[in-house]
Amino acid sequence: MAHKWVYLFTEVNDAEKRMGSWDGVRSLLGGKGAGVADMTRAGLPVPPGFTITTEACNEYYANGKQFPEGMWDQVLAALKDVEQRTGKKFGDPTNPLLVSVRSGAKFSMPGMMDTVLNLGLNAQTKQGIARLTNNPRFAADAYRRFVQLFGKIVLGVAGDKFEHVMDEYKEKGGQHRQDTDLSSEELDQISERFKQIIKQDAGIEFPEDPYDQLKMAIGAVFGSWMGRRAIDYRRVNKIADNLGTAVNVQTMVFGNMGNDSATGVAFTRNPATGENILYGEYLTNAQGEDVVAGVRTPKGLDDLAQEMPAAYQEFKTYAERLEKYYKDIQDLEFTVERGKLYMLQTRTGKRTGRAAVKIAVDHVHEGLISKRDAVLRVEPAALDQLLHPSIDPKAKLSVLTTGLPASPGAASGQVVFDPDDAVNWARDGHKVILVRTETAPEDFHGMEVSQAFLTARGGMTSHAAVVARGMGKPCVAGAGEIRVDYKNKQFSANGTTVKEGEWISVDGSTGQVILGQAPLVDASMSGDFGEFMQWVDEFRTMGVRANADTPRDARVARQFGAEGIGLCRTEHMFFGGDRIDSVRQMILSGLDYKRLERELNGAQAAKDEARIAEITRQIEEPKRLYLGALDKLAGMQTEDFVGIFKEMDGYPVIIRTIDPPLHEFLPHEEAEQRDLAQKMGITLEKVQATIEQLHEFNPMLGFRGCRLGIIYPEITEMQARAIFTAAADCLKQGIKVIPEVMIPLVGDLNELTDQASKVRATAEKIKAESGQNFEYMVGTMIELPRAALLADEIAREAEFFSYGTNDLTQTTMGMSRDDAGRFLPLYVERKILKDDPFQVLDQKGVGKLLEMGVQLGRQTRPELEVGICGEHGGEPESVKFCYRTGLNYVSCSPYRVPIARLAAAQAALGDKTRDK
């Protein structure tokens, strides 16, 4: 028996029997085809038609863009069935059947593929339509639309060439007319002009044979599956390329037959807010593409209730029925032809994050779905929209350029280019946006006071992006079209120059950079959201912590439901206020102190008494400055830790000892270097020589992390003293504290043993001094492949592991996350890599090291606590992988905690998610 490539809308039972499930039907017939077939089965007024399967599309590509054997014959047979049902004949000049040819993939891809309407029209059938309807203008308009759409969609002629002709006719005689004002004679003239354009651009005469038209249109819809729009949409939304699109061929019904006809689109609930109202737009005397193309301003459905009350009531009844049947918001298309309603589409409606939560909660309260279904239905990433301000969707925007949506939310501010200027402007009450070629840790003070950040370079895990997400501020990174001119305090993009002090807006959810002050909509933490997250936690079994470096971050983290801190980066505390001065004093004096200490050891070994005396005299001042700076920093950090412990009362706090290389704390600009020299009472040359001494060719793999602590043990001891002094102070106040001290960049057991011994010795000393018997743990960050491979050895010393997957990805894949933005997007686009590994955990490579480390570590220490603290801790697919791997918790920026909570709950429920 020949393979079945074509299913009539009335054959949905056969499709379901063959595929075994409704999901299988949607895979075979696409979402649109399955929807119209299901409505046909339910007895709704659906124009007859048939669907060419997604299998046919895939076979079309496998056959070198040739229809599979037998498909065209099945199309002709299905067309005969439609002719019998309608009493019309395809290509017949007296009673012609016209059809639409539409795409329809399994997952909704609105606007990404192609549609052709009014197919079957030619000079003869146009006259037949005019006679049948007694409306020559309608026939002329339908033909004009068909030639225009067919020329653009099927023959590839630029759409603006047709629009220029339309505009020319609408503006004739200085008039400003609508397309509905054009006469039948003018429409005929326009159609002829369109045909001339097609002959000139496509090199062929416009096809008059309806069967040729149909064959070409089906090929064009198949072709649109691999069009640039569709490919990009699938890449962004993680839809597989091998699904294919179905083609739906359906009897045309006409909303442009006069003022008793209309066409519209609607949602069964408001897709922006989730409000339980029928929401949509329509146009009288129009066809479907007019509503979305902006040719005329559509009207709200309330007007339809007044203009066509019977059709409206019937449509409202069907909308309610369909939502109850599918148990989800539906996206509907309809046409009213001379007062009679026809349903053309039902599919699961796209919605905002806010709407998704409200609809899920309302559906539970209405008894449509269970709490479990509600938790599985909401996409974790959609929650981002509830947590940040957004640009008003109704606003008209002047978009300057688009970069990477590095941190969600939107903000407006006056442009500044220097972090010190940002501080000064903000102090004077200005809202500022910091624009940099790229940010560095020394920019932190300017970032802290800015509304948002914009960088010309850097990726989704660049410094700017990571800091922005941690602060909950919008960021657009890697906006490659902008050129930053620090000297003249301006940036330019696409021929426009923006100077310091001028207003821009950035949308970190879309990557758009907008001229002027865009109107914003505040995020709202509604009661629905709180109730929904309670349900989430009922099903979640894996912990979720937050990366937080300040008491404010910790407070936000708790508000969003974090169950502790999975990463407190102590170096971030060093950049605020005048603290950086103490850090720089520590570095400058510490280098001298360590150099003289080494020389003293050499003199003592040589028993050179004169040299010993000279060095002993020289070492006193740098030692005093070095230890004095450490004492100052210890006091500051103690105060910070007390604030964080108070916010996290009873929850664990993982504190990472200093990690970055020392050169990151020193200024790069000569003016700042001069200021530093003045403050420290040394020469500019001394400062510059120190910076040169600390320079590294590859600092990421250089003198940082535990390597710093081993060479400068006083720094580790200072930080441990601050942590445990804060713990003791909090215990005295009745605040429960669980500090976990994490040693970074460990690649060998001996490194961890060295640093852990200093931490533990300091802890015991503080216990004895304070009389407080606090609990604590010492562990390590697994961010080097060697550490994962030797996890069984390292677990002898480590009481916990925390995977730093940002650096583990870099060291495993040999990629710099700050530089890989130059090629990673192309890698993803060309399917060399499935995802950007700095955004979505590389489960095959990095994930294998993670699994291995967990298994080896727990062989040595069965109770070993294991978590993840890289940016992947807030990415839904990575969170689900962590659950499957047996991690105790994930940790992410405070504003991603709800996302991680939902992803963890879905993982616990088996991740049986519904539609995309």
| 594-626 per-position pLDDT tens digit | 899 999 999 999 999 999 999 999 999 999 999
Which among 321, 254, 247 is positioned nearest to 287, based on CA atoms?
A: 254
CA contacts within 13 A on the Cβ side of 484: 18
Poorest-pLDDT segment among 288-292, 300-304, 800-804: 288-292
**What's the burial of 4, exposed, middle or buried (CB within 10 Å: 0-12/13-18/19+)?**
middle
Residues 676 and 665 sit within 8 Å (Cβ to Cβ): no
Q: What pLDDT does residue 280 have?
A: 86
DSSP element (H, E) containing 803: strand 800-803
| 623-668 per-position pLDDT tens digit | 999 999 999 999 999 999 999 999 999 999 999 999 988 888 888 8
| Residues 719, 723, 728, 733, Cα dihedral to 10° | 130
Q: What pLDDT does residue 426 have?
A: 92
Sequence-distant (6+) residues with CB within 8 A of 168 are: none
Could you say which of 568, 869, 882, 892 is catalytic?
869
Residues 178 and 170 sit within 8 Å (Cβ to Cβ): yes
Could you say which of 363, 463, 572, 872 is catalytic?
463
Give the CA diameter of the chain. 119
**Residue labelled with tokens 């004093």:** 585
pLDDT band at 914 (very low <50, low <70, confident <90, very high): very low
**Residue 88 φ then ψ, to 5°:** -115, 165
Q: How far is CA 50 from the centre of its chain?
A: 36
Q: What pLDDT does residue 441 have?
A: 66
Residues 64 and 16 sit within 8 Å (Cβ to Cβ): no
Q: What pLDDT does residue 256 have?
A: 86
- Name the DSSP letter for residue 573: G
DSSP-H helix ranges across 63-135: 71-86, 123-133
Distance CA 376, CA 902 (A): 9
CA contacts within 13 A on the Cβ side of 483: 9
C-alpha to C-alpha distances, 163 to 80, 100, 269, 294, 434, nearest whole angstrom: 36, 21, 34, 13, 41
Residues 121 and 143 sit within 8 Å (Cβ to Cβ): yes
| Tokens matching residue 850 | 């993670």
Q: Considering the chain, what is the average pLDDT of its residues?
A: 92
C-alpha to C-alpha distances, 830 to 231, 241, 540, 836, nearest whole angstrom: 10, 12, 36, 12
Pairing of strands 490-493, 399-402: unpaired
Sequence-distant (6+) residues with CB within 8 A of 793 are: 749, 860
Which among 26, 24, 28, 35 is positioned nearest to 3, based on CA atoms?
A: 28
Is 663 a known active-site residue?
Answer: no
Q: What pLDDT does residue 111 have?
A: 67
Q: What pLDDT does residue 912 have?
A: 47
Q: What pLDDT does residue 698 have?
A: 87
| 725-772 per-position pLDDT tens digit | 999 999 999 999 999 999 999 999 999 999 999 999 999 999 999 999
| 873-890 per-position pLDDT tens digit | 999 999 999 999 999 999
Over range 508-526, report the average pLDDT: 84
C-alpha to C-alpha distances, 570 to 654, 731, 755, nearest whole angstrom: 10, 21, 16
Percentage, residues of the chain above pLDDT 90: 74
Which among 160, 144, 141 is positioned nearest to 152, based on CA atoms?
A: 160
Is 430 a known active-site residue?
Answer: no
Which among 641, 656, 875 is positioned nearest to 783, based on CA atoms?
A: 656
| 326-336 per-position pLDDT tens digit | 999 998 999 99
Residues 284 and 259 sit within 8 Å (Cβ to Cβ): yes
Q: Is 294 a residue whose pLDDT tops 60?
A: no
- Name the DSSP letter for residue 113: S
Q: What pLDDT does residue 292 have?
A: 56
| pTM, 2 dp | 0.80
Sequence-distant (6+) residues with CB within 8 A of 111 are: 229, 292
356-395 as b/e: b if 16+ CB within 10 A: bbbbbbbbbeeebbebebbbbbbbbbbbbbbbbbbbeeee
Three-class SS state of 307: helix
Q: What pLDDT does residue 362 have?
A: 97
- Residue 509 neighbours by CB distance under 10 Å: 20
Q: Is 849 a residue whose pLDDT tops 60?
A: yes
Pairing of strands 452-455, 432-436: parallel
